[in-house]
């Protein structure tokens, strides 16, 4: 510890040239590399969850199908949802937080680079532990909502539920640690002049998402801990035979679960709010209204959870309250939709692939939002609850909403990530295939739900009238897979021989387009000074005006400068976040192993010192 | 700290004043606060034993207000520790807003859950 | 030490070292001693700590809600709140309150530049934390022998999970304080590094505040209902 050593001021600790090799990735604390790690691993989990989906659709393609056992089918359903929500969509949003937020606020890195690395490794280990359930044929099969008392040991004796609890606990730690980091980053690491109300909307949505995570995830952590204790230490939280109330699980789960929906959709809102102005060539309509509406959605989102429990008999007062609050949320959501439409209105619209996905998002998300308001109505919900209608709704908001927005974001920022363009034609093909396939897959589920098909059945009899639309949905699902495959091809082609993108291929408005693609390790050779919203547009336009008038243009955003001369200071790489992440994962994974020391799992006890060594070494090594 | 960039005014509300805010109470104040906390804690325990021990003295009316009394006394202790020992009263208001918002959400949800389980209709 | 803030020729701020990792420890840098040039002027680690504490409110909120939601629904012939030893617990509660006092005294000592005060009060705080944990161990083992345990009924489950979670937080706090204490013995902590102590203090006081709530809501209220019903 180093009050003694007098290092020369502001030396370059992290080399300006990015190092390469496996070790450099294992020890990286660079937000861009961590963003890439998050992006790639979440996309792989997305493919895994997609394979689950295809297996589900294969099973449901025809009546009386005995392709998979009900047990395995339940496993695919549970893992499809769990993988997509916790291991694909959320971390893919976090990939964008990592890569884009520091660039957009004009920072060199996040507030706590090593904590950031820790979050990633914990996420990856949690995802791998969850997925390893396939290897030992103990796939979680109780549904992603894990309703008690089905999950207690008596009714789910295998390791299946334990894999689910352990995996989600580890993923939860990663999420909370990441959220704290991005909260501090956005509050404290903004470039001079970047006041909160000048921030790009994507950063605003990230900030609101982190608040939602910090308030919602602890509730889930407790619910899972109670379940873990029920299964391993004989507590009676969810065992109604011993004085408990299984509804407790539903309350805790949905107090977390509904904000979770906004955790999944807010980053999507942010991405869309970046893309629509750039491809309409005009500033976002109603910036302040957008920010306030998002805050309202986030706040109200904590007061609606019981709309998932309208069939549990909570009584008329609770029903009325939760139905009204649910419908109230549609108002700020509508404000956002109209702001996007207001931005499009009168703009010179440029329908490149990112914009196609963004516009597609608005359409499908509105459908999903409307079907949501419909089952926010209590009597309607009694009809639709547990039917395929719900499956249709959730996919309209999470695939048609979040996933479309994430694809929009991938197409938009790909040139920044890689320095090369994606092929436009292939991008168009991806979008149109995905849009059509999406509606072919999920729109029929509205019909199936209305025709009474329950959402959790692995096999259905002939003569129900459900055959045709199920077959259509199955065909659509494979077409969706084809559209994803088109994107993967496009990505590989771009990496191999894509056109060079240059700094600013879309005439962007925000700071990330001011610097090279991909950005140098230190991002900005000189921290920019911001004096407006859409800072880069303001600069480019005033530069053009200056040239027209014969003045020498002057840029506040330094694009090229010698980083050594600017005395850039970057944090050191570190191995300890990975060690701490392994220790933390061991603490939870111990509950999956057969070795015990007294009442305590052995691996858990071994994990504690590993975690402590990681944290201690982390605290005492020079950060850079 | 120098904040001579455009838009600094917007944020000067935090920032430059944060350092001056470290006008902490003195150790003597801290000790006084501890004495107050001790007295409240004793009061809580005494209040608990009043109704049962003093039935003969006509103090049974105290039973219904017992729960609100505990909650109020705990709230007072809570506010004192957070305000003085955690310096929230003297520190930048940003911390108060972060903590207060989370506390508001936690209290609201907890109240709603408890009300739902005990069949108290709102 | 002089904190030079560099400007370029147009008077704009040059890049500052603080925009890297804002760990609270010194990194061997000339300008890390003071405040980092953050957007709000607030220290990153302090914002992190308060954010973490805010998040913890929901963690303990859920545990307390669990306890209170099903409170009063004990199944017949299983142990309940009548086992609580209120005078004993109130001593524990005051031990924790007094540890909060010694914690602020440690910080005040450090800020006044008095290393001796800092070391004494840090040690007293950690020791009081250990006394509290010892008390909790004794309480738990008494309950265990009186057949009140986490697998007996819902009350036991939620009581032991809640107080155990709190105890785990105290344990982490004690380890943290002891580490700080050893560090201050070996190297001393400079007054401008008082943030090191302030952050651990925030955590410690929060753990104390949680106990204030637990004492009222988990011990006093259920016990008073037994008393009231019994007489
Ligand atoms: Cu909901």
CATH classification of the domain holding C115: 1.20.120.80
Task: Place A624 in a pLDDT band, splitting at 50, 70 and 90.
Answer: low
Residue in B7, B106, B108 closest to A193 by CB: B7
Candidate from A585-589, B46-50, C136-140 with smallest mean pLDDT: B46-50
H or E, element range at C202: helix C194-214
Q: How far is A607 from chain C (nearest CA, A)?
A: 15
Task: Report the residue of A298, A317, A323 to disrupt the B interface, i.e. the one with the largest count of B CBs within 10 Å.
Answer: A317
User: Do C121 and C48 fall within a single domain?
Assistant: yes
Q: Would you call A306 an interface residue with chain B, using a CB distance cutoff of 8 Å? A: yes
In chain C, which among 82-141 make CB contacts under 8 A with chain A?
A: none
Domain containing C93 equals 44-229
- Tokens at A573, concatenated: 């790489």
pLDDT at C79 over 90: no
CB atoms C57 and B103 under 8 Å: yes
If we measure between CA atoms, which residue out of A106, A131, A124, A151 comes closest to residue A52? A131
CB atoms C70 and A244 under 8 Å: yes
User: Do C120 and C196 fall within a single domain?
Assistant: yes
Eight-class DSSP state of A600 = E
Q: Would you call B107 an interface residue with chain A, using a CB distance cutoff of 8 Å? A: no
C194-214 vs B66-80: helix axis angle to the nearest 10? Answer: 180
In chain C, which among 136-195 make CB contacts under 8 A with chain B?
A: none
What pLDDT digit, counting tens, does each position of A2-53 carry?
333 333 344 444 555 567 788 889 999 999 999 999 999 999 999 999 999 9
On whether the CB atoms of residues C54 and B101 are closer than 8 A, the answer is yes
Domain count, chain C: 2
- Tokens 């669990």 identify what position? C66
User: Do C56 and C117 fall within a single domain?
Assistant: yes
Residue C176 CA, chain-centre distance (Å), reads 10
Task: Report the residue of C10, C72, C95, C216 to disrupt the B interface, i.e. the one with the largest count of B CBs within 10 Å.
Answer: C216
User: Do C55 and C106 fall within a single domain?
Assistant: yes
User: Do C29 and C48 fall within a single domain?
Assistant: no
Dist CA A128 CA A134 (whole Å): 10
Residue A47 CA, chain-centre distance (Å), reads 15
Q: Would you call A246 an interface residue with chain B, using a CB distance cutoff of 8 Å? A: no
- Distances A592 to A175, A406, B50 between C-alpha atoms, Å: 22, 34, 51
- Chain C positions touching B42 (Cβ under 8 A) are 90
H or E, element range at C68: helix C44-69
Report how far ligand 1's centroid is from the alpha carbon of A390 (Å).
Answer: 11
For C144, list phi and psi in degrees, rounded to 5: -60, -40
Q: Are strands A596-597 and A600-601 parallel, antiparallel or unpaired?
A: antiparallel
CB atoms C190 and A3 under 8 Å: yes
Q: Would you call B108 an interface residue with chain C, using a CB distance cutoff of 8 Å? A: no
Q: Any alpha helices (H) in A233-377, and if so which ranges?
A: 247-280, 287-300, 316-344, 353-374
Nearest chain A alpha carbon to B3: A192
- Distances A468 to A315, A439, A462 between C-alpha atoms, Å: 39, 15, 11
Task: Place B59 in a pLDDT band, splitting at 50, 70 and 90.
Answer: low
Task: Place A242 in a pLDDT band, splitting at 50, 70 and 90.
Answer: confident
- Tokens at A336, concatenated: 């956002």
- Distances C163 to A529, B21, C35, C170 between C-alpha atoms, Å: 50, 35, 37, 10
The whole-number pLDDT of residue A560 equals: 46
Q: Would you call C150 an interface residue with chain A, using a CB distance cutoff of 8 Å? A: yes
CB atoms A109 and C19 under 8 Å: yes
- Tokens at A79, concatenated: 């893992």
End-to-end Cα separation, chain B, in angstroms = 51
What pLDDT digit, counting tens, does each position of A332-349 carry?
999 999 999 999 999 999
User: Do C18 and C51 fall within a single domain?
Assistant: no
Which conformational region is residue C220 in: left (phi greater than 0), alpha (psi within -120 to 50 degrees), or beta? Answer: alpha
End-to-end Cα separation, chain A, in angstroms = 12
Task: Place C35 in a pLDDT band, splitting at 50, 70 and 90.
Answer: very low
Q: Is A497 exposed, middle or buried (0-12, 13-18, 19+ CB in 10 A)?
A: exposed
What lies within 8 Å, CB to CB, of A565 at 6+ separation is: none
CB atoms C19 and A189 under 8 Å: yes
What pLDDT digit, counting tens, does each position of A247-281 carry?
899 999 999 999 999 999 999 999 999 999 999 99
For the CA atoms of chain B, what is the radius of gyration? Answer: 21
Residue list, CB under 5 A from ion ligand 1: A 258
> How many C-beta neighbours within 10 Å does residue A327 have?
15
The whole-number pLDDT of residue A623 equals: 65
Q: Is A496 exposed, middle or buried (0-12, 13-18, 19+ CB in 10 A)?
A: exposed
CATH number at residue A582: 1.20.210.10
Task: Place B19 in a pLDDT band, splitting at 50, 70 and 90.
Answer: very low
Dist CA B30 CA A507 (whole Å): 59
What pLDDT digit, counting tens, does each position of B75-84 carry?
999 999 999 9
Nearest chain B alpha carbon to C204: B86
ipTM of the complex: 0.92
If we measure between CA atoms, which residue out of A354, A355, A270, A284 comes closest to residue A537? A284
If we measure between CA atoms, which residue out of C164, C165, C161, C169 comes closest to residue C204? C169
On whether the CB atoms of residues A449 and A391 are closer than 8 A, the answer is yes
On whether the CB atoms of residues C139 and C85 are closer than 8 A, the answer is yes
Domain count, chain A: 1
The whole-number pLDDT of residue C223 equals: 84
What pLDDT digit, counting tens, does each position of C136-194 carry?
999 999 999 888 888 888 888 999 999 999 999 999 999 999 999 999 999 888 888 88
Q: Would you call B90 an interface residue with chain C, using a CB distance cutoff of 8 Å? A: no
Eight-class DSSP state of A194 = -
Dist CA C159 CA C166 (whole Å): 11
pTM as predicted: 0.90
If we measure between CA atoms, which residue out of A26, A44, A188 comes closest to residue A117? A26
Task: Report the residue of B75, B107, B110, B118 to disrupt the C interface, i.e. the one with the largest count of C CBs within 10 Å.
Answer: B110
- Chain C positions touching A524 (Cβ under 8 A) are 15
Candidate from A146-160, A230-244, A363-377, C48-62 with smallest mean pLDDT: A230-244
- Chain C positions touching A6 (Cβ under 8 A) are 28, 30
Output b/e per residue, B73-92; b: 16+ Cβ within 10 A. bbeebbebbbebbbbbeebb
- Chain B positions touching C86 (Cβ under 8 A) are 45, 48
pLDDT at A465 over 70: yes
The whole-number pLDDT of residue A195 equals: 93
- Tokens at A277, concatenated: 């102005």
Eight-class DSSP state of C7 = B
User: Do C153 and C183 fall within a single domain?
Assistant: yes
- With pLDDT > 90 as the criterion, what percentage of chain A qualifies? 74
Higher pLDDT, A174 or C156: A174
User: Do C32 and C49 fall within a single domain?
Assistant: no
Q: How far is B5 from chain A (nearest CA, A)?
A: 6
Report how far ligand 1's centroid is from the alpha carbon of A393 (Å).
Answer: 11
Mean pLDDT of chain B: 76
Q: Would you call A8 an interface residue with chain B, using a CB distance cutoff of 8 Å? A: no
3-state secondary structure A78-131: HHHHHHHHHHHHHHHHHHHHHHHHHHHCCCCCCCCHHHHHHHHHHHHHHHHHHH
- Chain B positions touching A315 (Cβ under 8 A) are 119, 121
CB atoms B5 and A303 under 8 Å: no
Q: How far is A372 from chain C (nearest CA, A)?
A: 27
One-character DSSP codes across B25-74: PPHHHHHHHHHHHHHHHHHHHHHHHHHHHTGGGT-GGGGGGHHHHHHHHH
Report how far ligand 1's centroid is from the alpha carbon of A305 (Å).
Answer: 5
Instruction: Return the C-alpha torsion angle C203, C207, C208, C209, nearest 10.
Output: 100
Q: How far is C116 from chain A (nearest CA, A)?
A: 20
Report how far ligand 1's centroid is from the alpha carbon of A260 (Å).
Answer: 9
Residue A499 CA, chain-centre distance (Å), reads 29
Q: What angle do CA B44, B46, B47 make, to 5 degrees?
A: 65
pLDDT at A55 over 80: yes
Domain containing A50 equals 3-620
On the CB side of B113, CA atoms within 13 Å amount to: 30
pLDDT at A203 over 90: yes
- With pLDDT > 70 as the criterion, what percentage of chain A qualifies? 94
Question: Number of residue pairs across B and C with CB atoms under 8 Å?
Answer: 171
Eight-class DSSP state of A420 = B
Q: How far is C10 from chain A (nearest CA, A)?
A: 10
What pLDDT digit, counting tens, does each position of A527-557 carry?
888 888 988 898 888 888 888 888 776 665 5
Give the chains touching A; criterion: ≥3 Cβ pairs < 8 Å: B, C
- Chain A positions touching B8 (Cβ under 8 A) are 192-193
Task: Report the residue of C16, C46, C154 to disrupt the A interface, i.e. the one with the largest count of A CBs within 10 Å.
Answer: C154
Dist CA A212 CA B53 (whole Å): 48
The whole-number pLDDT of residue A151 equals: 93
Nearest chain B alpha carbon to A528: B5
């Amino acid at each position: 510890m180093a009050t003694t050593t007098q290092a020369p001021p502001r030396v370059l600790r992290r080399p300006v040239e990015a190092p390469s090799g496996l070790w450099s990735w294992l020890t990286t604390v660079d937000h861009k590399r961590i963003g890439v790690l998050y992006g790639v691993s979440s996309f792989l989990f997305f493919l895994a969850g997609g394979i689950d989906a295809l297996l589900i659709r294969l099973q449901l393609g025809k009546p009386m199908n005995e392709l998979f056992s009900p047990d395995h089918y339940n496993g695919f359903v549970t893992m499809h949802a769990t993988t997509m929500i916790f291991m694909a969509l959320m971390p893919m949003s976090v990939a964008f937080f990592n890569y884009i937020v520091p660039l957009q606020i004009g920072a060199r890195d996040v507030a706590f680079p090593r904590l950031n690395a820790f979050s990633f490794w914990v996420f990856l280990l949690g995802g791998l532990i969850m997925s390893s359930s396939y290897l030992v044929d103990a796939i979680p099969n109780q549904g992603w909502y894990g309703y008690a008392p089905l999950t207690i040991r008596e009714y789910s004796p295998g390791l299946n539920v334990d894999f689910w609890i352990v995996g989600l606990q580890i993923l939860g730690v990663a999420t909370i640690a990441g959220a704290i980091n991005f909260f501090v980053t956005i509050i404290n690491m903004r470039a001079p002049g970047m006041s909160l109300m000048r921030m790009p909307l994507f950063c605003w949505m990230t900030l609101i998402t982190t608040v939602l995570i910090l308030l919602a995830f602890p509730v889930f952590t407790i619910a899972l801990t109670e379940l873990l204790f029920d299964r391993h230490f004989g507590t009676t939280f969810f065992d109604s035979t011993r004085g408990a109330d299984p509804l407790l699980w539903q309350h805790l789960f949905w107090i977390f679960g509904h904000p979770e929906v906004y955790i999944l959709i807010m980053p999507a809102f942010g991405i869309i709010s970046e893309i629509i102005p750039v491809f309409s060539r005009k500033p976002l309509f109603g910036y302040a209204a957008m920010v306030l509406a998002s805050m309202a959605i986030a706040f109200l989102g904590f007061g609606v959870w019981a709309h998932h429990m309208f069939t549990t008999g909570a009584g008329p007062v609770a029903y009325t309250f939760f139905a009204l609050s649910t419908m109230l949320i549609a108002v700020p959501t509508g404000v956002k939709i109209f702001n996007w439409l207001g931005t499009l209105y009168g703009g010179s619209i440029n329908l490149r692939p990112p914009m196609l996905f963004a516009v597609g998002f608005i359409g499908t998300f509105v459908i999903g939002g409307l079907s949501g308001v419909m089952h926010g109505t209590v009597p309607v919900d009694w009809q639709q609850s547990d039917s395929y209608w719900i499956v249709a709704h959730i996919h309209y908001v999470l695939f048609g909403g979040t996933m479309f927005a994430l694809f929009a974001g991938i197409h938009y920022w790909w040139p920044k990530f890689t320095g090369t363009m994606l092929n436009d034609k292939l991008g168009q093909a991806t979008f149109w295939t995905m849009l059509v396939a999406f509606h072919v897959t999920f729109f029929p589920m509205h019909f199936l739900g209305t025709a009474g098909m329950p959402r959790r059945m692995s096999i259905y009899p002939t003569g129900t009238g459900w055959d045709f639309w199920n077959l259509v949905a199955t065909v659509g699902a494979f077409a969706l897979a084809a559209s994803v495959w088109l994107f993967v091809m496009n990505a590989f082609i771009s990496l191999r021989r894509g056109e060079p993108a240059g700094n600013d291929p879309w005439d962007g408005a925000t700071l990330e387009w001011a610097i090279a693609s991909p950005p140098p390790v230190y991002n900005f050779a000189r921290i920019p000074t911001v004096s407006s919203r859409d800072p880069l547009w303001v600069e480019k336009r005033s530069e053009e005006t200056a040239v027209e008038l014969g003045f020498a243009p002057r840029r506040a955003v330094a694009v090229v400068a010698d980083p050594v001369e600017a005395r850039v200071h970057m944090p050191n790489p570190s191995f300890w976040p990975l060690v701490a992440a392994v220790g933390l994962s061991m603490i939870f994974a111990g509950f999956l192993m057969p070795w015990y020391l007294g009442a305590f799992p052995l691996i858990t006890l071994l994990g504690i010192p590993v975690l402590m060594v990681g944290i201690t070494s982390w605290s005492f090594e020079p950060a850079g | 700290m120098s904040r001579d960039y455009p838009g600094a005014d917007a944020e000067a509300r935090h920032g430059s004043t944060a350092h001056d805010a470290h006008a902490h109470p003195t150790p003597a104040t801290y000790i006084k606060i501890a004495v107050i906390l001790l007295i409240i804690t004793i009061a809580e325990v005494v209040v608990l034993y009043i109704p049962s021990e003093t039935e003969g003295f006509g103090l049974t009316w105290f039973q219904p207000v017992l729960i609100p009394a505990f909650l109020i006394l705990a709230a007072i202790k809570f506010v004192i520790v957070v305000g003085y020992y955690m310096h929230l009263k003297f520190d930048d208001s940003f911390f108060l807003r972060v903590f207060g918002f989370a506390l508001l959400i936690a209290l609201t949800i907890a109240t709603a859950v408890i009300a739902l389980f005990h069949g108290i209709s709102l | 030490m002089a904190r030079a803030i560099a400007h370029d020729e147009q008077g704009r701020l040059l890049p500052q070292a603080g925009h890297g990792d804002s760990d609270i420890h010194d990194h061997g840098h000339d300008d890390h001693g003071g405040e980092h040039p953050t957007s709000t002027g607030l220290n990153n680690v302090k914002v992190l700590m308060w954010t973490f504490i805010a998040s913890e409110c929901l963690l303990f909120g859920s545990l307390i809600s669990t306890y209170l939601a099903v409170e009063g629904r004990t199944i017949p012939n299983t142990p309940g709140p009548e086992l609580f030893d209120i005078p004993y617990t109130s001593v524990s509660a005051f031990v924790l309150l007094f540890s909060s006092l010694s914690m602020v005294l440690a910080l005040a000592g450090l800020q006044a530049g008095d290393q001796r005060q800092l070391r004494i009060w840090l040690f007293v705080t950690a020791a009081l934390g250990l006394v509290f944990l010892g008390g909790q161990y004794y309480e738990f083992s008494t309950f265990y022998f009186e057949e009140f345990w986490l697998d007996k009924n819902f009350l036991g489950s939620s009581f032991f999970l809640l107080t155990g979670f709190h105890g785990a937080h105290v344990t982490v706090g004690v380890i943290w304080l002891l580490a700080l204490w050893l560090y201050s013995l070996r190297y001393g902590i400079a007054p401008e590094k008082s943030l090191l102590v302030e952050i651990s203090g925030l955590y410690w006081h929060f753990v104390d505040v949680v106990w204030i709530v637990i004492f009222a809501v988990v011990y006093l209220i259920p016990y008073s209902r037994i008393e009231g019903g019994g007489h």
